[in-house]
Amino acid sequence: MKIKLQIEDCIACGLCHVKAPEIFDYDDSGLVRFYADKEAGEIELKESDGLIEAIKHCPTGAIKATK
């Protein structure tokens, strides 16, 4: 699935990192970034429980998924 970060919507709450630390990290401002590529705004990932939980629990919808 393709995952896109809407960084401008991120409030740096940290839930994505709690739910999927192998996928999500933070930049120096505490905003969401991909762990594997901090510069990417969109990447292709395998669906996983942690990824789905991170998307579902993001309070601002800053993490978007498309198939």
Question: Domain coordinates of the chain in residue numbers?
Answer: 2-66
Average pLDDT per run of 10 along the chain, which is 67 residues long? Answer: 97 97 96 96 97 98 93
The DSSP output letter for 40 is -
| Inter-residue contact 23 to 35 (CB < 8 Å) | yes
Instruction: Give the CATH fold of the 2-66 domain.
Output: Alpha-Beta Plaits (3.30.70)
pTM above 0.95, yes or no: no
Residue 67's pLDDT is what? 78
